[in-house]
Amino acid sequence: MRAVDLIRRKRDGGELTAAEIRFLIGGIATGEVPDYQWSALTMAILWRGMTPVETAALVDAMLHSGTVVDLSDIPGPKVDKHSTGGVGDKTSLILAPVAAACGVTVPMVSGRGLGHTGGTLDKLESIPGFCVDLDLDAYRRIARDCGLVLIGQTAEIAPADRVLYALRDATATVESIPLITASILSKKLAEGIDGLVLDVKTGDGAFMATHEDARTLAESMTRIGRELGKPVQALITSMDAPLGRAVGNALEVQEAVECLQGRGPDDLMEVSLELAAEMLLLGGVAASRDEALAACRQSIADGSALDRFRRVIAAQGGDPRVCDDSEGVLPRAAVVEPFRAARSGYLARIRAWSVGQASMLLGAGRARVDSTIDHAAGILFRRTVGDAVQAGDVIAEIHVNPAHAAALPETLAMLDAATTVTDAPPRPRSRILERL
Ligand code: URA
């Protein structure tokens, strides 16, 4: 078998067999299929696509390029959630403790933020002491003891994806549905889960800007996951505006804690609880959506979800007092600058993409994989879409440290362009657009 013949076949629109795909993926570790051949192949796949059978074979080969964790000794269902990413998306920090409190173990391997989108690991690392770089033994132990664990991708989990993702990033081949499907599912199925809930975001601040593209990706991932024997459920949710009020790592942790204390904003609570309810249904611990939602709400009302969060923070070396005194424990920015409404009316739009870009200027996001971030920096909205505002009212607070304070005028201008105030209130819309 020669890689060049397989690249040519894919380039000309042909199909690859499972054995050929295994050879190509296996060749990453052995060096038999070097980067330049994989670069050509990813471009051929981007143009020609893959059949569902080829995509399933690719997921399977990438999954088995590393360790597939066995969590079968932990009693009960193990279910995770994956989001395609957005601005202000801190649902993992809320739904993981909620699902754990309701009897579903959540072994979560997450990523870092890149570009205008945030990452769960960066948010968690704003909690003093919190360690996301744990080995698989600690991962298993904490999942068993706490019912949830939140770590970064280890060298053992889907190593072929690490190589391919970096190549795709550098060769403009990220936007391929079969390659995204294989990248996400190979990592998630390696975690040792029984089921997966997907939050496929669409809108201005999402990776998939249109609902159609989001549906195509969601259908690909649910279909291939099911073909590989794992129940996968997907929600398509709106990412036109930032989710919740906070954008920026420590600010988002504080908001997640407020949600677990029962004081979260409606849009964030809606998405978090709907996703958590899907996890309970996949895990078989609730018989209906209503029952699942009621159990999730109860875990917040009785404090059991917050208690799970406290336990996992302590188990991963973090300061659990963040659950009781977030402001006292989390890093705070030195400067808080108001962004005010220029006119009176109703806040009709807050464009997620622009807010994500503005928060990057403050140091809250990462322009490159190796950029350092300022955990305290970010934007905290005091008004949200649908609210009435008077000229001069504070719409948002900009949290910034001196190192990035020079970006304040540009950040204010970006927020001005990102927000629209109208005479009439906008029509209220659910964030949940579709359930697949
Ligand atoms: N996230 C991933 O993990 N992989 C992709 O290909 C795209 C988004």
Tell me the CATH number at 314: 3.40.1030.10
- Of these residues, 10, 81, 168, 404, which one is catalytic? 168
Ligand 1 centroid vs 183 CA: distance in angstroms? Answer: 5
Which of 291, 326, 361 marks a domain boundary?
A: 326
pLDDT of residue 36: 96
Determine, yes or no, domain membership for 63. no
Closest-lying ligand 1 atom to the alpha carbon of residue 184: 3
Identify the three-state secondary structure at position 207. coil
Give how many domains the chain has, as a whole number. Answer: 3
Tell me the CATH number at 363: 3.90.1170.30
User: Which conformational region is residue 172 in: left (phi greater than 0), alpha (psi within -120 to 50 degrees), or beta?
Assistant: left
Determine, yes or no, domain membership for 354. yes
Q: E strands of 204-248, at which residues?
A: 232-238, 246-247
Determine, yes or no, domain membership for 386. yes
- Of these residues, 22, 123, 187, 366, which one is catalytic? 187
Beta bridge partners of 398: 337, 379
Of 165, 175, 369, the one to substitute when testing ligand 1's pocket (max ligand atoms within 8 A of C-beta) is 165
Residues 316, 193 within the same domain: yes
Closest-lying ligand 1 atom to the alpha carbon of residue 182: 6
Ligand 1 centroid vs 174 CA: distance in angstroms? Answer: 8
Determine, yes or no, domain membership for 392. yes
The protein residue whose alpha carbon is closest to atom 7 in ligand 1 is 180
Phi first, then psi: give them for residue 234, nearest 5 degrees: -125, 140
Active-site annotation holds for 187: yes
Residues 354, 276 within the same domain: no
Active-site annotation holds for 81: no
Residues 38, 92 within the same domain: no
pLDDT of residue 113: 72
Residues 184, 119 within the same domain: yes
CA atoms within a 13 Å half-sphere pointing along the CA-CB vector of 76: 20
Q: Which residues of 61-99 are buried (b: 16+ CB within 10 A; e: fewer)?
A: bbbbbbbebebeebeebbbbbbbbbbbbbbbbbbbbbbb
Active-site annotation holds for 39: no
Residues 197, 113 within the same domain: yes
Distance from CA of residue 7 to its chain's centroid?
32
- Across the 436 residues of the chain, what is the mean pLDDT of every consecutive 10-residue run? 97 98 96 95 97 96 95 96 93 98 96 77 96 94 97 91 88 90 94 96 90 95 94 96 97 98 97 98 97 98 98 98 95 97 97 94 83 93 97 98 96 97 95 95
For ligand 1, whether the C-beta of 184 sits within 6 Å is yes
For ligand 1, whether the C-beta of 180 sits within 6 Å is yes
Closest-lying ligand 1 atom to the alpha carbon of residue 165: 6
Residues 198, 238 within the same domain: yes
For ligand 1, whether the C-beta of 183 sits within 6 Å is yes
Which range marks the domain in which residue 12 is found? Answer: 3-49
pLDDT of residue 114: 67
Determine, yes or no, domain membership for 60. no
pLDDT of residue 218: 96
Burial of 343 (0-12, 13-18, 19+ CB in 10 A): exposed
Tell me if the pTM is above 0.75. Answer: yes
Residues 133, 88 within the same domain: yes
Active-site annotation holds for 183: yes
Active-site annotation holds for 393: no
The protein residue whose alpha carbon is closest to atom 5 in ligand 1 is 180
Residues 150, 179 within the same domain: yes
Determine, yes or no, domain membership for 435. no
